Amino acid sequence: MMSNAILLAGGSGTRMESEIHKQFLEISGKEIWARTVQAFQDCTQIGKIILVCREDYFEHMRRGVSRHEFSKVTRIVAGGRERFHSALNGLRASGCAARDKVLILDAVRPCIPVSVIQRALAMLDAYESCDTGSPVVETLFEAEGDTIASITDRARFYSGQGPEGFHFETVFSALSRHVRDGEGLMTNISGIVRRYFPDVEMGLAAGSEVNIKITTPKDWLIAEQLLKLAPDTNRNMA
């Protein structure tokens, strides 16, 4: 059974306040998308990587794949209007068998440890699907306007990070039906799978506090410092 990764690199990153799209910003001398891909390249359980991006990024991506010797990248395919369209395009191009394992992640998590990828794959030995997250550490309030209506017990809550993991036939079926039905703009693939397969148990893989998503300039600064302090973050951090 082959394990595959679909990495989504088509966003524009408007919140980064940068003329350069966020996945192409450099962190410690390497573009963000390439640092994300590197972790999957280094994970021995991953056999194939599909990159999904805008068509006008293709040539830049091809040059990067060649320069960094990403031998596991087998296809670069065009994304779609929404995140779930892009994920479905990647699945269609993957050539996966029904029971192959598939991980889906935005290619803007440059510090993701290989161990997080391995834990998500291991979850798929026991579950049809999984998501990755870390326990919420801040107090959770439910607000009504500018007042606190209630304080939630955070012990049961996790912050989702990804990668999201699935067996191919399940996620492909769910996304195909979601696109066909025109069911809203939910971006979380796990949520879409749960909508169409509510009885399927979903495993929770342990994430990592260093597995941050680059969304704002502050995120970039944090990731830059992490990689300066620990250049092998992807390999050595839990």
**Any idea what the CATH number is for the domain that residue 105 is in?**
3.90.550.10
d(CA 86, CA 9): 9
- Global confidence as pTM: 0.92
Say what the pLDDT of residue 1 is: 73
d(CA 8, CA 153): 34
CB 20 within 8 A of CB 116: no
**Count of the separate structural domains present in the chain:** 1
d(CA 200, CA 170): 10
User: Nearest-CA neighbor of 79 among 106, 54, 104?
Assistant: 54
Say what the pLDDT of residue 182 is: 81
Written as six digits, the tokens of 133 are 């997250």
Range(s) of the domain holding residue 146: 3-236
d(CA 168, CA 56): 28
pLDDT in tens, the chain (238 residues): 779 999 999 866 565 656 778 899 999 889 999 999 999 999 999 999 999 999 999 999 999 999 999 999 999 999 999 999 999 999 999 999 999 999 999 999 999 999 999 999 999 999 999 999 999 999 989 999 999 999 988 888 999 999 999 999 999 999 999 999 886 767 799 999 999 999 999 999 999 999 999 999 999 999 999 988 876 666 666 6
Say what the pLDDT of residue 235 is: 62
Q: Which is it for the CA torsion 216, 104, 174, 53, positive or negative?
A: positive
User: Nearest-CA neighbor of 187 among 83, 92, 99?
Assistant: 83
